[in-house]
Amino acid sequence: MPDEHRAPEAPHASETPHASDTLHTSDAANASITPHTPGESRYPDEQREAVYRVIAERRDVRQGFRPDPVPADLLRRVLAAAHQAPSVGFSQPWDFIVITDRARREQIAALARRHRDEFAAGLPGARARAFDRLKIESILDTPVNIVVTCDRTRGGRHTLGRHVQPRTADFSSVLAVANLWLAARAEGLGVGWVSFFDERELAAALRLPEHVEVIAYLCLGYVTGFAPEPELATAGWARRRPVSWAVHAEEFGRRGLPGEEPVDPLADVIAAIAPPDAAAMTAAAERQDRMTKPRGSLGVLEEVSVRLAGLAGACPAPLPEPACVAVFAADHGVHAQGVTPWPQEVTAQMVANFLAGGAVVNAFAAQAGAEVTVVDVGVAAPLEPVPGLLPRKIAPGTADFTQGPAMTREQAMAALTVGLEIARDLVAAGNRCLVTGDMGIANTTASAALICAFTGADPAEATGRGTGVDAATYARKVDVVCRGLALHRPDPADPVGVLAAFGGFEHAALAGFILGAAALRVPVILDGVISGAAALAAAALAPDVTAACFAGHRSVEPGHAIALSRLGLSPLVDLGLRLGEGTGALLALPLVQSAARALRDVATFDSAGVTEKQ
Ligand SMILES: Cc1cc2nc3c(=O)[nH]c(=O)nc-3n(C[C@H](O)[C@H](O)[C@H](O)COP(=O)(O)O)c2cc1C
């Protein structure tokens, strides 16, 4: 907490020579304030509305700048507004460099272009295409550029608050940007923030002194209009998260707005899951019959397109792209029972491999143009933070389910919540198709137990050889599942209890992920037996969840077919895979996308003037 927000402490005389003056001054300042009742200091309605209006209508602008010069007095007003920002210890660490010179702007625009190209080169297929359509800087389209800087040393070592949190200097300069942005909007001036720079490179190009950092590069100019929504939202790149997702009551995770009931994310998600839209499905089926091809000739893909339309509530459904595979990784206490020849460390090692781009999931994702996100939901080993890894560890692995429940109910709920929040975040980030993936040594044993618990299947039929175990290990695996079922006597009507009894954290998180996708009416392509077991838990919580689910493939694990049949889903491919990671689902991704594209793009007999079969 910055010092100025702490309860006042007795100043140390030798360190703060003018402490008594300061106190005296602040007493005097307080004395000059006439006490107000709550609400009395409020602005008149019209002025309050103007404040909220400028906040709501401020836009980051990149298109439609006009070449008209910006009057100097207007620039002075906007800069004065920026200069009134709050700052740590009143250190006012900002400076503003006003750039109008064309040659200088051309040099800076070239820097930004290079980083734009580098960023574009690292994007997966559909994202790269969407990015290509976006404009991300207007350095040359605007008559004025303003660089907001930060001097983290200004004010010396006793700057209040900054000594514990050096970043507060940067935060202060950002607040100056916010003031400038709002004042500019009120003046009818568009502002675009460009951050496609290497900070040191930009600082050198601007010939900044060593101790001065760049905080923001802003492009200012009159505009033809202000968009009602962020351009990135209109372009489908990302969505605004509802404010209720962002506000927590007392503790992180207890989401809810003041004065409203706390949000129960799982209950909310379950309540939002609805059956498919019958009218959209009928329209899609009818359109398939009118498309320039023999009726039914697209086989299963016709049904896929009809289901996509039902899920979206629109015919044709939007294309399920960009897509993102979320690989949920966790360890299992049941590993101690000798159910696999692989050591537990392999989970963490494979996570590192996913993040380095070296696993099969990375190859298939690259081929299909999908993004890979890895979620540590319970890997036994501590993992270093790296880009692409979401750290959401509930615990370092579950307990051995032959000895007691694998996790507590609270842990199962926490993992479910992680999954549904990740689904929401990935959809808010612009993904239109989610793909399930998993990593967890021993997780086929946990999956078999879950499938038996939810379907009543015989452990000997539902248990498979996983990564390829010998006969003795296989027999032990079946016995472990039998012992677990005997110990816990699971009640399939209590899905959270079943997950807690046997599940891995990745199963519970995947169940939440699938529910989260269904609640947002975004298709989710299921991978193999681990996802199948998780989907059974999801369907037990919300039966209509299956409307969003597409079975990517059939794994050779026998439990997977049992799960799919209970879910009423037909696998799209059957290639004898038994790898997990999301690999089978990724192979099905182009099939689901092609089904949607055919429904959207293929001409009908009437529109194309093609004669129908007699
Ligand atoms: C720190 C920061 C850096 C940004 N960098 C860029 C950028 O490099 N290029 C760009 O086009 N927009 C950039 N933006 C603008 C955001 O994309 C934009 O604020 C966001 O989409 C929300 O839209 P709105 O500002 O219109 O509400 C940046 C915004 C912030 C706050």
Amino acid in the structure at residue 213: E
Taking the CA of residue 174 as reference, the ligand 1 atom at the shortest distance is 1
Q: Are 451 and 478 in contact (CB under 8 A)?
A: no
Distance CA 530, CA 377 (A): 14
φ, ψ of residue 227 in degrees (nearest 5)? -70, 145
Q: For ligand 1, is residue 193 a contact (CB within 6 Å)?
A: yes
Residue nearest to atom 26 of ligand 1 (CA): 59
pLDDT of residue 166: 87
Cα 527 to middle of ligand 1, angstroms: 35
**Beta pairing, strands 189-194 & 94-99:** unpaired
For residue 231, CA distances in Å to 57, 192, 343, 391, 395 come to 12, 11, 49, 30, 40
Taking the CA of residue 61 as reference, the ligand 1 atom at the shortest distance is 26
Beta bridge partners of 552: none
pLDDT of residue 31: 64
Distance CA 371, CA 165 (A): 35
Residue with tokens 């498919």: 276
Q: What would you report as the CA-atom Rg of the chain, rounded to the nearest whole angstrom? A: 29
Q: Which of 195, 198, 223, 234 to mutate to test the pocket of ligand 1 (most atoms within 8 A of CB)?
A: 195
Q: Which of 60, 133, 196 to mutate to test the pocket of ligand 1 (most atoms within 8 A of CB)?
A: 60
Distance CA 140, CA 154 (A): 32
Q: Which of 63, 141, 193, 243 to mutate to test the pocket of ligand 1 (most atoms within 8 A of CB)?
A: 193
Q: Are 399 and 541 in contact (CB under 8 A)?
A: no
Cα 195 to middle of ligand 1, angstroms: 8
Distance CA 330, CA 345 (A): 11
pLDDT of residue 30: 64
Q: For ligand 1, is residue 62 a contact (CB within 6 Å)?
A: yes
Q: For ligand 1, is residue 247 a contact (CB within 6 Å)?
A: no
Distance CA 99, CA 602 (A): 51
pTM for the full predicted model? 0.87
Nearest partner of 305 among 598, 62, 520, 34, judged by Cα: 598
Cα 136 to middle of ligand 1, angstroms: 8
Task: Determine how many CB atoms are found less than 10 A away from the CB of residue 115.
Answer: 18
Taking the CA of residue 195 as reference, the ligand 1 atom at the shortest distance is 8
Rounded mean pLDDT for each run of 10 residues along the chain, 614 residues in total: 36 39 54 79 96 98 95 98 96 97 96 93 88 91 98 88 88 98 98 95 96 97 96 87 90 91 91 97 98 97 98 97 97 97 97 98 97 98 96 98 98 97 95 98 98 98 91 96 98 98 98 98 98 98 98 97 98 96 98 98 93 83
Taking the CA of residue 62 as reference, the ligand 1 atom at the shortest distance is 11
Taking the CA of residue 59 as reference, the ligand 1 atom at the shortest distance is 26
Q: For ligand 1, is residue 59 a contact (CB within 6 Å)?
A: yes
Residue nearest to atom 6 of ligand 1 (CA): 194
**Beta pairing, strands 371-378 & 389-391:** parallel
> Which one from 40, 137, 581, 612 is the annotated catalytic residue?
581
Q: For ligand 1, is residue 232 a contact (CB within 6 Å)?
A: yes
- Tokens matching residue 592: 């689901």
Cα 41 to middle of ligand 1, angstroms: 33
| Sign for the pseudo-dihedral over CA of 289, 295, 296, 301 | negative
Distance CA 81, CA 191 (A): 14
Q: For ligand 1, is residue 136 a contact (CB within 6 Å)?
A: yes
Q: For ligand 1, is residue 533 a contact (CB within 6 Å)?
A: no
Q: Are 326 and 426 in contact (CB under 8 A)?
A: yes
Q: For ligand 1, is residue 230 a contact (CB within 6 Å)?
A: yes
Q: For ligand 1, is residue 195 a contact (CB within 6 Å)?
A: yes
Cα 332 to middle of ligand 1, angstroms: 42
Indicate if 581 belongs to the active site: yes
Beta bridge partners of 550: 525
Q: For ligand 1, is residue 194 a contact (CB within 6 Å)?
A: yes
Residue with tokens 């269904």: 518
Q: For ligand 1, is residue 379 a contact (CB within 6 Å)?
A: no
Q: Are 205 and 199 in contact (CB under 8 A)?
A: no
Cα 430 to middle of ligand 1, angstroms: 15
Residues 6+ apart with CB under 8 A from 385: 391
Cα 371 to middle of ligand 1, angstroms: 22
Distance CA 127, CA 321 (A): 8
Cα 386 to middle of ligand 1, angstroms: 23
